[in-house]
Structure 1
Amino acid sequence: MEDRKSVEGWGPVGARDHADWLNSLSGSAVTGFHPRPTDHDGLWILNAMYERTTGTARESHHERHRRDLASGAEPPLVIGDWNELEDGHGMTVTGGSMGWSEHPGTGWRRLPWRELAERTGDPISPPGLPPCYRAFPSAKMDGSWPTSIEPPTEGSLDIESFRALAKVLREHAGSDTVVMAFYCQLYTGDFDDLYILQGTLGTLEELEHHWMPYSPSNIWPSDRSWLMTTDTDLWGTQVSGPSELLAAVEADTGLETVRLPPLDTAEDDA
């Protein structure tokens, strides 16, 4: 397995102490554990997306990708939807990516999901589905996002949202609260064991420097009073916990949230 550099304030903890509880939840060790539908109020933190502040795109990410290929440029690693295209290549480059994302910098702004929903007429999340790549079909050009928009990343909170969430959790539970962070098996590549780190809320942002470029799949305190789930296939983080925590998450201006009806195992719905 890839060399695991140390993360200040965090260390591995025996998975045996947590395996039974995690496996009693829905979801899986492969993509991330979710609370049972009866145990949560359907609150989701939506991963950030960004939009250029000037101009509109006449080109999609897929079109730009094909143009770059034709010019001989080395294209970046991309995420695509596998479709039967007329050119026979079989993949639409959507413009999406995986792992940590952050503000692109000058000339870009954060684009709220609600603003895009009002603009397109699409719901924030299609009925019966969690936040995922199927959102906002009207914003896309033949299945690909316009280059004026950087869509949400898949399977990881963005840096802005992760830091805002860390602040909310500290205000709710205190910086000294011991928490666990689980990284799913698709990320670790270890399908025989659970990879769990232990640290405190005061050092949560140190996980940005973890050897895997993703936020944890699950975060929970030692008393298991709340649970955060960032599934590999989804564009948001599911929040389960006491009503005062959910209210604090919803009230934070650094987080965009939505309430959705309880879902069965989210990985089966995306």
Structure 2
Amino acid sequence: MHETAAALADARWPLAPPAEAGWLRELTADDGITGFMSPALPDAAWLLHSLYEHEVGPTDMSFDAYARAVRAGGGKDVIPGIDPAEVLDAPTGEHPGPRWRRLRWAELADRLGDPTVPEGRYPCHSSFPSIRPGTWPAGLRAPSEGHMDRPDWNRLVDLLAAHGPHGAETACLAYWSPLLQGADFDDPHLRAGVLADAKVLFDHPEEEKWTPSNLWARDLSWVVCTDYDLWATKVSGPRALVEALLADPEIEAVRVPWAA
């Protein structure tokens, strides 16, 4: 992380009074331990966190088995064509590297014969039921749980600014679940800023690599929620914003009717 980016994030997103989360607490009737999950306002879409596939493709070896084999001294011979550093040392929250491509959930679901999001479930570790727990292939990087990666976060900020009540100058509040940093459950961790500066939150020295559990406009027109336990981020707001998310070619967003 660059020191200048961290300093910029700290300066432009100062701490806000915990009471500022009161509206969201009332709206969701929740304590926000994993994030405040907003209802549709009046519409909502889920931004599916990025999947990545190595150019070698999915393998018959699970990620866990691969990591054990590498630690046992297997090195680059464990899976020919894959360098262990590409799988085990890729930075959290970043694109894994030049030999990886973004794999859309819909493409993987079609390949496996699974629904993109199983009916009645949230997008999470139980998605893609054809991949049994503990057997996620080493050639696939599963979506991040509880946070977005940098490309998705940056694109979402751009779309929010394009549809915000005051564009890039839309005043916002950002909230982090206490589970992300061992904070006091009774003292919500909030910061205040504007959308023009929201991308630097990814490099904030205290919340590094954890995108906010919630980001919302002060005029209450939209709310973003990245639940600590989920592989997707819910965006609740005006229909025009939701339609823009669904149509955007850079991210993958879907409506999940049972979790609207």
TM class, shorter-chain normalised?
0.7 to 0.9
CA shift, 1:17, in A, is 3.2
**One of 180, 187, 203 as aligned partner of 1:209:** 203
Letter of the 2:173 partner, please give it.
M
- Separation in 2, partners of 1:121, 1:160: 28
Q: Give yes or no for the alignment of 1:119 onto 2:111.
A: yes
Cα distance in 2 for residues equivalent to 1:162 and 1:261: 23
Cα separation, partners in 2 of 1:62 and 1:100, compared to 1, 3 Å: closer
Whether 2:251 is the aligned partner of 1:248: answer no
Please give the alpha-carbon distance, in whole angstroms, between the structure 2 residues aligned to 1:29 and 1:39: 18
TM-score normalised by L of structure 1 = 0.80
The structure 1 segments of at least 4 consecutive aligned residues displaced by more than 6 Å after TM superposition are none
Partner residue, 1:260: 256
Corresponding position: 1:110 with 2:102: yes
Distance 1:166 1:58 in 2: 37
Identity of aligned residues (%): 36
Q: Write the deviation string for residues 164-199 of structure 1: whole angstroms up to 9, x where unpaired.
A: 111111111211110000001111322121111000
Matched, 1:185 2:181: no
SS in 1 for 2:258: coil
**Residue 82 of structure 1 corresponds to which residue in structure 2?**
none
TM-score for both structures, normalised by structure 2: 0.83
- Flag the structure with higher helix content: 2
Deviates more, 1:120-129 or 1:17-26: 17-26
Q: Which deviates more from structure 2 when the two are superposed, residues 225-234 or residues 10-19? A: 10-19
Pair 1:141–1:192, CA change in 2 (3 A): closer
Question: How many correspondences in the alignment?
Answer: 236
Moved more, 253-262 or 51-60: 51-60
Could you tell me how far apart the structure 2 residues matched to 1:56 and 1:130 are?
Answer: 24
| Partner of residue 123, structure 2 | 131
Change (3 A) 1:147 1:201: same
> For residue 199 of structure 1, what is the aligned residue in structure 2?
193
Unmatched segments (≥5 aa) in structure 2: 1-5, 76-86
Question: Unaligned regions of 5+ residues in structure 1, if any?
Answer: 74-94, 265-270
Which of 55, 58, 61 is the aligned partner of 1:59? 61
Shift of 1:67: 2.0
